[in-house]
Structure 1
Amino acid sequence: MADLEARTPRVFLARHGETEWAKNGRYTGITDIDLTDNGVNQVSSAAKMLVGEAKLLDPSRLVHVFVSPRKRAVRTYQLLGVGDSPSPEVTEDIAEWDYGDYEGLKVGEIRELRHSKGLDKERPWNVWADGCEGGESMQEVTERLDKLIAKIKNIQEPYFDNDRAGDVLLVAHGLILRCFVKRWLGFPVDFPLEMIFSPGGISVMSYKNGNIKEPGFYIGLSLP
């Protein structure tokens, strides 16, 4: 089983490091804000421990890299030190949820704004289910992530049942990566799966039993 695990392609999810808005709880979608000094340290520390030859994220095993075009994600990719082979695909497919009219606001401010418009009379606003005025809906997020997941599976399928490495890396944002996890597992974006994803953190998705039809995620894994 351990040998099968080692041969099965993985999908690494790297969240960008801390930003000033993230630290203050502000929804940050299209705003191009850079990492704080602490954010740089978060990513650099993770890279030192987890990225490198024979480490958890071995750059020699990567066959594709997707990076959000936002400055904070591009900077995180650079700090991870995985090299430029393969060349990263910088794409809006893995950009953060577009928060539209709620950009830069905190949860309480968004709920007050919606309440003033007579919205959410039955329950409080929830980004997963309700989306954002002037921004993306749950359905729009679902559609772009499903397209990305299909692309990842097409990339990785040739690497099953052989000794070639076939790992993929995504460098992006906290909310969209949590949405990605839900869609990877086949759950709707508003499925109540509570997740914690620290700034600068790295998560690992893969396939159970070495089967591309059984996407899963690691709740614990042994380090190389």
Structure 2
Amino acid sequence: MPDKDASTPRVFLIRHGETEWSQSGQYTGKSDIPLTANGEAQVASTASIAVGSGRLIDPAKLGKVWVSPRSRAQKTFEILFGEQVAELKGQGKLEITEELAEWDYGEYEGLLTKQIKEKRAEQGLDKEKPWDIWRDGCAPGGGESAQQVSDRIDGLIAKIRELQGPHMKDAVNVDVVLVAHGHLTRAFAKRWLGYPLDHNLNLMMEPGGVGILSYSHHNVEEPALLLGIGFPSQ
């Protein structure tokens, strides 16, 4: 990260570690699928490299940590911060929020992309264009639309800007950590940069990966700088 951005509040976007369903490619929304042993190792590797005093994600510099309610995300948070979990909770810096829950896939839960497309073809859908979750969402079928996902992410972004906005140029520590899911982290990055969800942004974090978001020109009205993406060692 450039030195000029070192004092600008940052948002660390973290994808939970591997699960059996993320490994197989099954859509995992509300299902509470635990991390695999390899998934826990991925997150531990990220923690050893990036989390701790004087490291990229320094617990002393955090203003807030938001975590998805799903156990795979909460376990990722616990592995990342270890002994500092209790301190973050005691300081009131931890919040579990549905705003970071993975996309509600409805009837597509547990399916592969190929199976979803076959299901939609049987329903007479997508005759002109192939199904694209970023455009078409998960309806019909009881799942969320792209607009619904976008709206709840925007609600969280507003909270982050309210927290970080007054401290663009001072020494108050208000870095933010978000622990979430595959589709949700990509959706968040798109909305942070001001793009609609169907915008073609080539961003895909590996399980346990870390994305770094910040602001241009120390201005909360310009949250348009993607500083970098880090991945855990395997």
Range into which the TM-score falls when normalised by the shorter chain = over 0.9
Match of 1:129 among 135, 153, 156: 135
- The answer on whether the counterparts of 2:17 and 2:35 sit within 8 Å (CA) in structure 1 is yes
Give 1:214 deviation, angstroms. 1.3
The 8 Å contact of residues 66 and 178 in structure 2, kept in 1 or not, is answered as: yes
TM-score by length of 2: 0.91
1:174-213 superposed matches below 5 A: 174-213=182-221
Deviations 1:81-130 (A, max 9, x none): 15342431001001000000100000000000000010000111111110
Pair 1:5-2:11 in alignment: no
SS of the residue corresponding to residue 66 of structure 2 reads strand
Q: Distance in 2 between matches of 1:181 and 1:144?
A: 13
Unaligned regions of 5+ residues in structure 2, if any?
A: none
What one-letter code is carried by the residue in structure 1 that aligns with 2:161?
Answer: K
Q: Is the 2:29–2:105 Cα contact (8 Å) retained in structure 1?
A: yes
Q: Is residue 133 of structure 2 the alignment partner of residue 99 of structure 1?
A: no
**Structure 1 segments of 4+ aligned residues over 2 angstroms from their partners:** 1-4
Q: In 2, distance between residues paired with 1:26 and 1:2?
A: 38
Residue 219 of structure 1 and its aligned partner are, at CA, apart by 3.4
C-alpha distance in 1, partners of 2:17/2:169? 35
C-alpha distance in 2 between matches for 1:80 and 1:103: 27
Provide the TM-score with structure 1 as the length reference.
0.95
Q: Give 1:2 shift.
A: 5.1
Say which of 98, 117, 126 aligns to 1:120: 126
Residue 49 of structure 2 corresponds to: 49
Q: Supply the distance in 2 between the matched residues of 1:80 and 1:165 (Cα, whole angstroms).
A: 19
Deviations 1:124-149 (A, max 9, x none): 11111101121100110111011110
- Contact 2:11 2:178 (C-alpha < 8 Å) held by counterparts: yes
Offset, 1:15: 0.4
- Extract unaligned runs of 5+ from structure 1: none
| Kept after mapping to 2: 8 A contact 1:4/1:210 | no
2: CA distance between counterparts of 1:3 and 1:112? 50
When the two chains are superposed, the root-mean-square deviation of aligned CA atoms in Å is 1.5
State the 1:210 CA deviation. Answer: 1.2
Distance 1:21 1:79 in 2: 20
Q: Following TM superposition, by how much is the alpha carbon of 1:55 offset from its aligned partner in structure 2, in angstroms?
A: 0.5
Partner letter of residue 200 of structure 1? G
Q: In structure 1, the residue corresponding to 2:27 is in which secondary structure?
A: coil
**Aligned letter for 1:151?**
K
Structure 1 residues 220 and 131, CA, compared in 2 at 3 Å: closer, same or farther? Answer: closer
Cα deviation for residue 158 of structure 1 reads: 2.1
Contact 1:13 1:204 (8 Å CA) reproduced? yes
Letter in 2 for 1:218: L
